[in-house]
Chains A and B, each alone.
Chain A
């Protein structure tokens, strides 16, 4: 349509490269597709799985994904006042954990503050509690950005059901072209999302751009298992069990077939580390969880 053509023309020079992407072959799981097809297919995968996403995560990982996400937030160790951008954060798992974490840190801060004031009157103590009630997050904020409307809808509903409202916002956006200004966020997280980004290098550049100097990049993603025996078992489980679970629980074999294939296509730990360094991050490191089934990569913008 006319609008779309014009919009593509106003994009700056670096982005023009993407216009040529009709040609280059990319992978969608084990299939070979064009860049445009890949984006479409991935969008459809998540549109299809959105409602069953959490249930499937629990079934496939036997609930362990919760521990991985807990570890990510603990590693982040946010203090009250932190501004978090959670990209590909769809259903809100990281965002909710972040909010819980800063809330409990804040409570501990308040406890310590009150303990220090030995001679307060009841009136003063009462007032102390009142003023801090409106600030239970200590001005911390998380913005959840995802490219898929269905995933965001599920996330927003979850937030309402679980009672999360303060300090939480939702944006539909593309990790390769974030709608945020430079140097804005303290932490950028992308949990089980970067694998589905078509141009990882662009996403990493955008991550670098929107982080404040001193800000931290954290990526939680499936990675490569070195141990040959474990690798064999993992492959067996991935290819024999997961798509079946996908069909039984979500009625969607293909999407989960894509999922396990995409894990195999994703760069291993060292390669991802190099890509993160290429984007300009310093002190890039990774931590394997469960022998490399999952890895947390971390980098800083200095």
Chain B
């Protein structure tokens, strides 16, 4: 959480001229904290959990994770990945 807030502070500094280069950047950008209040899963409209380790937004119930690329959450189902390793059971995925 401390690392996350340091990065957010840098992002919010209006004088900052840091240009994000996308795929070349070493540290993944976390999303704006205010944004997390609004975002839900586009499929189930349920709240998401921000996972700092993988920089993803996780829908626990459906077992899917939306990536955050260059600080922009990618909230389309096509971009989401399944969080379960083994073939998921059908019933556990039913909303």
Contact = CB atoms under 8 A, between A and B. Distances in A.
A179 B11 contact: no
B35 A169 contact: yes
A184 B76 CA distance: 19
Interface in A145-189: 147, 149, 152-153, 156-157, 160, 163, 165-166, 169-174, 177-182, 184
Interface string B52-89: 00000000001010100111111111111110000110
Interface in A30-77: none
Contact of B77 (A152, A169, A177, A180): A177
Given A6-B82, A152-B72, A171 B35 contact: yes
B24 interface: no
Contacts of A116: none
B11 A153 contact: no
Interface residues of B, number: 45
B38 A181 contact: yes
Interface string A250-267: 000000000000000000
Nearest to B46: A181
Interface residues of A, number: 35
Contact of B76 (A8, A165, A173, A180): A173
Nearest to B59: A10
A10 B43 contact: yes
Contacts of A173: 42, 75-76
B93 A165 contact: no
Contact of B73 (A12, A141, A172): A172
A171 B40 CA distance: 11
Given A156-B72, A173-B76, A163 B93 contact: no
Contacts of B11: 165
Contacts of B19: 157, 160
A170 B66 CA distance: 14
Contact of B70 (A11, A156, A169, A179): A156
A166 B81 CA distance: 31
A147 B42 CA distance: 13
Contacts of B76: 147, 172-174, 177
Contacts, number: 99
A260 B76 CA distance: 28
A6 B42 contact: no
A165 B14 contact: yes
A181 B45 contact: yes
A115 interface: no
A134 to B, nearest CB: 11
Contacts of A174: 42, 75-76
Interface string B1-14: 00000000001111
A180 B40 contact: yes
A172 B74 contact: yes
Interface string A1-40: 0111011111110000000000000000000000000000
A290 B46 CA distance: 43
A180 B39 contact: yes
9 contacts: A3-B80, A4-B78, A10-B93, A165-B14, A169-B31, A174-B42, A177-B42, A179-B41, A182-B45
Interface of A: 2-4, 6-12, 141, 143, 147, 149, 152-153, 156-157, 160, 163, 165-166, 169-174, 177-182, 184
Given A149-B74, A160-B19, A171-B73, 6 more contacts: A3-B82, A10-B43, A10-B94, A149-B72, A169-B31, A179-B39
